[in-house]
Amino acid sequence: IRAASSCTNGQTGCHFLSLANLFDRVIQHSARMHGISNDLHSEFELYFLPSKNQIGRVSRNCHTSTILTPNGKENAQRIAREELTEVILKLLVAWREPLWHFHQNMAQHREFNNFSSNKSLEMSEMVHELRRGVQKVVEKMQMLGVINSSLGNLGSPEALLASDRAEWRLMNDYDLLYCFRRDSNKIQNYLKILKCRIVPEHGC
Amino acid sequence: MYNARMRTHLGLVILCVLSAARVCSSTSAPESPRKFDCRSREKETFSCWWEPGSDGGLPTEYRLFYTQERLREVRECPDYVSAGANSCFFDKKHTSIWAEYTMTVVATNALGNASEEFRITDVMEYVKPDPPVNVTVVVNSSAPSPFLEIRWKSPPDVDVRTGWVTLKYELRVKQNDSKEWKTVDIGSETFFNFYNVYPGLLYMAQVRCKLDHGKWSEWSNTIFAEIPKNCKPTVVTEISFFYLDHQVEKIPLLMGIYILLLKRNVVKQCLLPPVPGPKIKGLNAHLLKSGRSEDVVNALMGNQNFPPVAAWTEQVEDFLLVSDSDEWLLTDSFASEKNKDIFIIPAGLHLGLEIQCRDLSVDLNTWEKTDDSKEEAKSNFLNMEPINLPVEKHEFLNGEEMSIQPLANTSYVDIQQHPTLTDYSRVKEVNDNTILILNEEEIPHGLDAEEVKSEVSVPDDYSRVKEVNSDVVFLEKGDSADKPIMPLESELSKGFCLKMIASGYVDSGPAFSVK
């Protein structure tokens, strides 16, 4: 993360500028992650579901369905910053293992070309990187007093999802991709909303 | 009689049955609706439409019921009107992005009903914004070439301020009579400068946008722009209006061509200036061609006052000697040697030299005698940093005495004829592997060779050793605090002799070893 080297408006201003930079970075990261998940999902559809029928598809159960997420703009703007941040982290943590196993499966199947296999690896790594990035943002926010430090449990979000460990194994690959595409879109949106709530003056 | 009546009754009955049947086939229960589609304009609300099936000839009512992913209850469509016929509009309160909807449309009429279920997995899949608005284009005619300034605004309902949506634009431009569009990805900006235009042509442009990863909107309204033709031709055409007829126009044209032909060299110079080749200051290309290396070297290295080569070659065979006794006069045979051997004696050491440096002896007395000449020599010292070229007097083979005269700003030594100076103590520095020059500030007198031998610290004299050139000698300036770089060994008693060949190779005499 590039330090705000051109700050002249005092320490506080500098801190907020660097927080905005941090946000921009994680948002870019999440946008890229969502793009890859979108590509992979489309490729899957090409190979496995030639007859696309948007309406009338079988319902899917995503393993992250248990995580309560704001499903609209107003909701996302109304809930507390801490809560929104927690949701983001929960989602990121929930996908770490499933994506890793997905990539392992992909690497073994011969019908996928290298391109898709690389994407799945990139995707699983990005989830991990993004989570670290968001944790940095959280630390920065806590340091600046933007959010309460009561989110101590975010240091180990795995604890939050200990019970959901096995559920993702029930999903098949296609459902997994669909669910992740949706969740990566959520993460991207929440991060943008969070940024515009906390540091709106730096481009929204 | 009975037969006629029965036939009539039968006919009537048949007629009745037939008519009854006709009435029955025209009405039925409705068919289930088909083709369900939805659209969200701004990711905050969405609408869905269905295509009704046959209504069975009776007035049919359509109702939509839905459940959401997590809601157990079944709800009915909140708004059947806003989105038109056979539609349902979900406002902000009823819209959940990323949530799954299960819609059921029921068609009901007097005779029955029919329903169909549709599933919307994610409203995000139906996001399609309106096209951008207020698309304007301005032709910017500034130098060096004209371009189109195209601007637009985001569609009215889309909220770009809260970060909820990311809008991306796409622009396409084409010539009016061309078939192919040039498409440009814009990102999130709302303007673009399009440079690929030519004067005199008419262009049309359109913009469209996309929300997040949704679908592209329709193209916006087309805007047109014409690039004006260049001004210069218009001036000419204006002038031409002054001519009565087109024939007269040709006269200045012909005159112009004639003048151009006359002055074609000038024109050629003007229009096609010769491309200058690379130039090295002071270097003449012809010089290189002529091949005289000395001239080239001179040109390249500037106006350095190197001694004339001829003069140097004359002195090639001359040797610098430190000698007080005649026996050190070298024979002519040396003079005839072509190698540029120069012998240097460090200051303070009275060494005799033989060309092979075999017999070196120091005659202290000789040194003392040369006090006067030392003074002389001293005055010839140049205190130049880093070059300190003393004027030395040297005895040479053929009795010529050469002195080393420093050249200004060069490290080159010019050997000239000079009155004899047997005192080589002034040799300060060797330059160019030819001459060792020792900077001697204190000339120890009466220094015994033996002393030299025993006292390694005699380096007082060798403290003059300041610098070694080409591994020959370390010459150190004046300061006795400076340690000599070279250790002196006992063999020093014999002094040392440095024979330097112009190539830089140095033979050191047995007198010492260079560390």
Indicate the number of domains in chain A: 1
Q: Which of A63-72, B332-341, B485-494 has the highest mean pLDDT?
A: A63-72
Chain-centroid distance of CA B78 in Å reads 62
Which H or E run includes B363? none
Please say whether the beta carbons of B476 and B436 come within 8 A. no
Q: Does B118 touch chain A (CB under 8 A)?
A: yes
Cβ–Cβ contacts within 10 Å for residue B310, how many?
A: 7
pLDDT of B478 reads 40
Task: Quote the CA–CA distance of B65 and B77 in Å, as a whole number.
Answer: 6
Please say whether the beta carbons of B46 and B40 come within 8 A. yes
Please say whether the beta carbons of B380 and B403 come within 8 A. yes
Domain ranges of chain B: 34-126, 133-232
Taking an 8 Å cut-off on Cβ atoms, the answer to whether B213 and A195 are in contact is no
Lowest mean pLDDT among A133-137, B160-164, B203-207, B299-303: B299-303
Lowest mean pLDDT among A168-182, B83-97, B157-171, B366-380: B366-380
Q: Which domain holds residue A42?
A: 19-49+63-198
pLDDT in tens, B246-304: 566 677 888 888 888 888 887 787 778 778 777 666 656 666 666 666 666 666 666 55
Q: What is the mean pLDDT of residues A65-77?
A: 88
Taking an 8 Å cut-off on Cβ atoms, the answer to whether A74 and B159 are in contact is no
What's chain B's length in residues?
515
Band (A26; pLDDT cuts 50, 70, 90)? very high
Taking an 8 Å cut-off on Cβ atoms, the answer to whether B92 and A192 are in contact is no
Task: Quote the CA–CA distance of B359 and B353 in Å, as a whole number.
Answer: 6
**Does residue A30 surpass a pLDDT of 80?**
yes
Interface of A with B (CB under 8 A): 31, 34-35, 38, 54-57, 59-60, 65, 69, 71-74, 76-77, 178, 182, 185-186, 188-189, 192-193, 195-196, 204
Q: Which residues of A touch B159 (CB under 8 A)?
A: 73
Shortest CB distance from A195 goes to which of B44, B100, B163? B163
Task: Quote the CA–CA distance of A181 and A33 in Å, as a whole number.
Answer: 9
Strand order in the sheet with B394-395: B394-395, B401-406, B413-417
Q: Does B5 touch chain A (CB under 8 A)?
A: no
Task: Quote the CA–CA distance of A52 and A39 in Å, as a whole number.
Answer: 16
Burial of B115 (0-12, 13-18, 19+ CB in 10 A): middle
Distance from CA of A69 to the nearest CA of B (A): 9
CA atoms within 13 A on the CB side of A50: 0
Please say whether the beta carbons of B115 and B105 come within 8 A. yes
Say if A10 falls within a structural domain. Answer: no
Taking an 8 Å cut-off on Cβ atoms, the answer to whether B121 and A60 are in contact is yes
Cβ–Cβ contacts within 10 Å for residue B323, how many?
A: 25
Say if A7 falls within a structural domain. Answer: no
Greater model confidence, B511 or B54: B54
**Does residue A52 surpass a pLDDT of 90?**
no
Please say whether the beta carbons of A169 and B196 come within 8 A. no
Dihedral sign, CA of A149, A151, A153, A155? negative
Domain pair B34-126 / B133-232, same fold: yes
> In Å, how far are B19, B61, B434 from B339, measured between CA atoms?
141, 122, 11
Say if A82 falls within a structural domain. Answer: yes
What pTM value is reported for the model? 0.55
Say if A3 falls within a structural domain. Answer: no
User: For residue B510, is the peptide bond before it cis, meaning its omega torsion is within 30 degrees of 0?
Assistant: no
Band (B232; pLDDT cuts 50, 70, 90)? very low
Residue that has been written with the tokens 């999802």 in this structure = A161
Task: Quote the CA–CA distance of B309 and B315 in Å, as a whole number.
Answer: 10
Q: Which residue of B has its CA nearest to A53?
A: B119
Chain-centroid distance of CA B413 in Å reads 45
Greater model confidence, A150 or A66: A66
Cβ–Cβ contacts within 10 Å for residue B160, how many?
A: 16
Cβ–Cβ contacts within 10 Å for residue B116, how many?
A: 19
Say if A55 falls within a structural domain. Answer: no
Q: Does B43 touch chain A (CB under 8 A)?
A: yes
Q: Does B164 touch chain A (CB under 8 A)?
A: yes
Taking an 8 Å cut-off on Cβ atoms, the answer to whether A73 and B44 are in contact is yes
Percent helix / strand / coil, chain B, rounded to 5? 25, 25, 50
**Does residue B502 surpass a pLDDT of 50?**
no
Task: Quote the CA–CA distance of B449 and B324 in Å, as a whole number.
Answer: 15
Please say whether the beta carbons of B352 and B361 come within 8 A. yes
- Smallest CA-to-CA distance from B323 within B293, B292, B359, B281 is with B359
| Secondary structure (3-state) at B113 | strand
Mean pLDDT of chain A: 80
Task: Quote the CA–CA distance of B52 and B38 in Å, as a whole number.
Answer: 15
pLDDT of B181 reads 93
- Side chain identity at residue B40, one-letter code: S
Rg of chain B taking only CA atoms, in angstroms: 55
CATH number at residue A80: 1.20.1250.10
Shortest CB distance from B119 goes to which of A55, A74, A204? A55
Domain B34-126 has CATH 2.60.40.10: yes
Distance from CA of B292 to the nearest CA of A (A): 59
Of the options 3.40.630.40, 3.40.50.620, 2.60.40.10, 3.40.50.150, the CATH number for the domain spanning B133-232: 2.60.40.10
- Smallest CA-to-CA distance from A60 within B98, B135, B478 is with B98
Q: Which residues of B touch A77 (CB under 8 A)?
A: 162
Residues whose CB falls within 8 Å of the CB of residue B237, separated by 6 or more in sequence, listed in order: none
Lowest mean pLDDT among A110-124, A135-149, B367-381: B367-381
And the tokens for A171?
């999903």
Shortest CB distance from A55 goes to which of B36, B160, B164? B36
Shortest CB distance from A56 goes to which of B69, B92, B119? B119
Terminal alpha carbon distance of chain B: 161
pLDDT of A174 reads 82
- Smallest CA-to-CA distance from B136 within B261, B222, B255, B9 is with B222
Task: Quote the CA–CA distance of B191 and B150 in Å, as a whole number.
Answer: 6
Taking an 8 Å cut-off on Cβ atoms, the answer to whether A74 and B92 are in contact is yes
Greater model confidence, A151 or B169: B169
Band (B508; pLDDT cuts 50, 70, 90)? very low
Q: What is the mean pLDDT of residues A53-70?
A: 70
- Side chain identity at residue B477, one-letter code: K
Q: Does B185 touch chain A (CB under 8 A)?
A: no
Task: Quote the CA–CA distance of B321 and B314 in Å, as a whole number.
Answer: 17
**Does residue B225 surpass a pLDDT of 60?**
yes
Greater model confidence, A32 or A158: A32
Q: Which residue of B has its CA nearest to A67?
A: B70
What's chain A's length in residues?
204
